[in-house]
Structure formats: C-alpha cells, structure tokens
Amino acid sequence: MKRLAFFISGTGGNALNLLQACREGRVPAEPVLALASSPKAAGLAKLQAEGLEGRVLERKAFGSDAAFSEACFAACEAAGVDLVCLAGWLKKLAIPPRWEGRILNIHPALLPKFGGPGMYGMHVHRAVVAAGEAESGATVHLVDEVYDHGRILAQARVPVLPGDTPEALQQRVYGAEMDLYPKALAAFLDAGAR
C-alpha cells in the first residue's frame, strides 16, 4: 500500500478529508506524514492528533526553493513516503526528477483558467466572479515546475450563480473539492497499480 504525505499551509481541511477517505477504505493508501510550511498552520495539530508524524519546514530557513524543496522531499523519504498530496500548500516546490509524477495538487478553479502565481484561496474566487464566468470548480493535477500547470487528472464543475459572492462560490467549490480529491487520488493509485 502506498504511503502518503500531506503538505499543508493552513487548516488542513483537504488533508483531513483525504485521511478520512483512506481510513474508510475509499482510497487505498496509508497517510504517514503531515508537513506544514508554517508553525501557524492549524491543520498540523489536527493531523498529528490523528496519528500522523508532523513536521514544520519554513521556506525562509533555506537559501533557495531548491534547498527548501530538497528538505521537504528528504523528510518524505525518511518517512518512507511514496506519494505527496498538496492540500492548501502555498510554497513553490522545485521537483527533483525522482519525485516527478508522484505529487498531486488540488486547485479551486477549472485549470488552465485562474491558475498561476497569486491564484490561491479567495483570490481565485474573486477573479472568477469578477470575470463573469458561468462556472467554476476544482481541478486535481500532477505537480510540475510551473504553478498549477501539470497534467490534469480530474475536474469537478460547479455553477457560478447570479449574485454570487466570492465567499458563496468558495463554499460551493470547497464542497466539490471534498468529493473530487479522494476520488481522483483513488483513481490515480488504481491506474498505477495496473
């Protein structure tokens, strides 16, 4: 069974959702590590309380994205991690060749629209509403060297309703994320097992 690490920068909602899906048998994997980019990431304590090893690695402690990334992946390797799931992770990663194709991310929009530097959290939903889009959603993709760029694995669509606020849209998209990420991860693991 593949061993997972969750990389978080905030509340860890997507990571906790994936952990629950693993424990219920909907995702055939074993979460073992939670890595936070800040000691203020509230999700870290929650994931540690669920029995995961928890680590904090701050980007400012390293001289480059490459050195920071290497420390993150070294922590994964020390814990025997096979696959990384980014779950609200906000730091740039330099992906070493040995980790290519082994890192998934969820983004709160229908990529390739509304992705890239600065497009995270409420910034995305404000941009979608301001653009007058008829729909938004969530995307699970493989991570590469470019923000929100890697191969798309799955998407879920939600309508943008007349009079929607960014906050209302965020809630609808978050619900789609909770459904999509476990399914996309399970399908990815299943495809790799064949």
Residues designated as active site: 107
Nearest to 185 by CA among 27, 24, 32: 27
| Nearest-angstrom CA–CA distance, 90 and 117 | 10
CA distances from 66 to 60, 75, 94 (A): 12, 14, 5
What phi-psi label fits residue 147: left (phi over 0), alpha (psi between -120 and 50 degrees) or beta? Answer: beta
Q: Residue 34: what are its φ and ψ, rounded to 5°?
A: -120, 120
Give dist(CA 77, CA 5) in Å, integer. Answer: 10
37 is written with which tokens? 């980019």
